[in-house]
Amino acid sequence: RLVFRPNHPAIPGPKPYPIIGNLFDLPHERQWIKFTEWARLYGEIVHVHTFGTSIIVLNSVHAVKELLERRSAIYSDRPHSVMLCDIMGYEWGVNAMQYGDRWKTHRRILHQSFQRATIQNFWPIQHAATTRLVSALCSKPNNFWEHCKHFSASIAAKSAYGIELSDQDDWFIQQQQRNFEYLTIGATPFRWMVDIIPALRHVPAWVPGAEFKRVARAARECWQVMLEAPLAYAKAAIETGTAPVCLVSKCLEGSEKSGLSPEVHEGYVKNAAGIVYVAGMDTTSSALHAFILAMVLHPEVQRKAQKELDTVLGVERTPSFEDRPNLPYIEAIMSEVLRWVPIAPVALPHVAAQDDQYGEYVIKKGTLVFGNSWALLHDPDIYADPWVFRPERFIKSDTQIPETDPANLSVYGYGRRVCPGRWLADGSVWIAIATILSRFDISPAIDAHGAPIDVSFARDQLPAFNSYVIHLCDGLLRDN
Ligand code: HEM
- CA distance linking residue 413 with residue 346, whole number of Å: 8
Distance in Å, CA 457 to ligand 1 centroid:
31
The amino acid at 182? Y
**Contact criterion met (CB below 8 Å) for 196 and 51:** yes
Neighbours of 282 (CB within 10 A): 24
Domains and CATH numbers, the chain: 31-479 (1.10.630.10)
Q: Which residues of 117-147 are buried (b: 16+ CB within 10 A; e: fewer)?
A: eebeebeebbbebbebbbebbeeeeeebbeb
**Contact criterion met (CB below 8 Å) for 137 and 150:** no
Task: Confirm or reject: Cβ of 94 under 6 Å from ligand 1.
Answer: yes
User: So what's the pLDDT on residue 480?
Assistant: 39
The answer to whether the annotation marks 419 as part of a ligand binding site is yes
Task: Confirm or reject: Cβ of 96 under 6 Å from ligand 1.
Answer: no
Q: Which atom of ligand 1 is nearest to the CA of 272?
A: 35
- Predicted ipTM of the assembly: 0.99
pTM of the predicted structure, to 2 decimals: 0.92
**Contact criterion met (CB below 8 Å) for 328 and 399:** yes
Task: Confirm or reject: Cβ of 285 under 6 Å from ligand 1.
Answer: no
- CA distance linking residue 194 with residue 196, whole number of Å: 5
Instruction: Give, rounded to a whole angstrom, the gap between the first and last alpha carbons of the chain.
Output: 53
| Burial status of residue 88 (CB atoms within 10 A of its CB: 0-12, 13-18, 19 or more) | buried
- CA distance linking residue 5 with residue 32, whole number of Å: 34
Q: What does the pLDDT profile of the chain (480 residues) look like in tens digits? A: 776 666 788 999 999 998 889 988 888 777 888 999 999 999 999 999 988 889 999 999 999 999 999 999 999 999 999 999 999 999 999 999 999 999 999 999 999 999 999 999 999 999 999 999 999 998 888 888 889 999 999 999 999 999 999 877 678 888 888 888 888 888 877 778 888 788 888 988 888 878 899 999 999 999 999 999 999 999 999 999 999 999 999 998 766 777 788 899 999 999 999 999 889 988 999 999 889 989 988 999 999 999 999 999 998 899 999 999 999 999 999 999 999 989 889 889 999 999 999 999 999 999 999 999 999 999 999 999 998 999 999 987 655 677 778 778 889 999 999 999 999 999 999 999 999 999 999 988 777 888 877 766 454 444 344 445 555 555 555 443
Q: H or E stretch including 351?
A: strand 350-351
